[in-house]
């Protein structure tokens, strides 16, 4: 199967993120989106892993279904929270044996209101090293990056130091969503100053719902710029206008990022296809 590091070595990529649904209706919505996104020939699609492993089996099933039912190249997310090292090794072995060659290694956030959450592998770098050991060269390994800094980091410089070390162990990074191209450019420059040139894909989340994006931003530590909030507030009672503005803003951001030399674009779809397809068309994108 295709490895993401090989794709990045060949040129610009486009990719979409999906999550495993928990209901029959959600399953229908997901597969409708997949059917609509597959003709865009994305370089790969990523499948998230719920907090504390809450979607462990559903994540594996969706990745396997993508391999079996589509032409898409999946990347499986894996988090170490609430898992022992042996459990994580078993999950990685299942992916390896199923022919999955791309994994995203994350420390992970604990489930909400879980005082007993634990990390036997304390850092994402520990999970990267385990994936290397289990895969024995089979996996292309990705890690997360935060252009505005991780919300738990004591300061931006410390976060950049940690990110550079993490990326040196990985094959590529994918960022949390953000809304200013300057945050991405600054992150890449900071990494380069630390001698790190591992490619980092910017994550794009089209705004289609004002309350939802504000809540997501609060949870992730991303900032929705005041001027963008003001524009959204002007049309927040008109869902169609919010969506049009969200597509416009995301399209402009993508253009800035590509002009700045971003190695590709990674879209957070929320299991919907229309906004992503419109941005894709606006940009005239072709994928590796």
Our answer to whether residue 17 is catalytic in this structure is yes
Q: Convert 26-79 into a string of H (helix), E (strand) and C (coil).
A: HHHHHHHHHHHHHHHCCCEEEECCCHHHCCHHHHHHHHHHHHHHCCCCEEEEEE
Instruction: Please answer whether residues 74 and 45 qualify as being in contact, where contact means their C-beta atoms are separated by less than 8 angstroms.
Output: yes
E strand spans, 88-234? 102-106, 140-145, 172-177, 200-204
Residue with tokens 């909030």: 229
Integer Cα distance of 20 and 59 in angstroms: 6
Integer Cα distance of 64 and 60 in angstroms: 6
- From the list 17, 148, 223, 236, the catalytic residue is 17
Q: Which residues are catalytic?
A: 17
């Amino acid at each position: 199967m295709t490895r993401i590091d090989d794709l990045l070595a060949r040129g610009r990529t486009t990719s979409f993120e999906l999550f495993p649904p928990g209901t029959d209706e959600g399953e229908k919505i997901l597969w409708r989106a997949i059917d609509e996104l597959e003709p865009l020939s994305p370089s790969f699609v990523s499948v998230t892993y719920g907090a504390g492993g809450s979607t462990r089996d559903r994540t594996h099933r969706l990745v396997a279904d993508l391999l079996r039912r589509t032409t898409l190249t999946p990347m499986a997310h894996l988090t170490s929270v609430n898992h022992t090292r042996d459990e994580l090794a078993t999950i990685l072995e299942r992916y390896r044996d199923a022919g999955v060659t791309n994994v995203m290694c994350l420390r992970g956030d604990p489930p909400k209101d879980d005082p007993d959450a634990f990390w036997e592998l304390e850092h994402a770098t520990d999970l990267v090293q385990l994936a290397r050991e289990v895969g024995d060269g089979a996996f292309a390994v990705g890690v997360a990056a935060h252009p505005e800094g991780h919300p738990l980091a004591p300061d931006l410089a410390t976060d950049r130091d940690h990110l550079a070390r993490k990326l040196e162990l990985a094959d590529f990074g994918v960022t949390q969503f953000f809304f200013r191209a300057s945050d991405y450019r600054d992150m890449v420059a900071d990494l380069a100053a630390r001698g790190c040139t591992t490619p980092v894909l910017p994550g794009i989340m089209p705004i289609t719902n004002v309350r939802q994006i504000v809540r997501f931003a609060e949870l992730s530590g991303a900032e929705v710029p005041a001027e963008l909030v003001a524009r959204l507030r002007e049309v927040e009672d008109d869902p169609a206008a919010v969506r049009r503005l969200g597509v416009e803003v995301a399209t402009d951001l993508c253009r800035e990022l590509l002009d700045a030399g971003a190695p590709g674009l990674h879209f957070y779809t929320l299991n919907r296809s229309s906004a992503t397809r419109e941005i894709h068309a606006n940009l005239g994108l072709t994928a590796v």
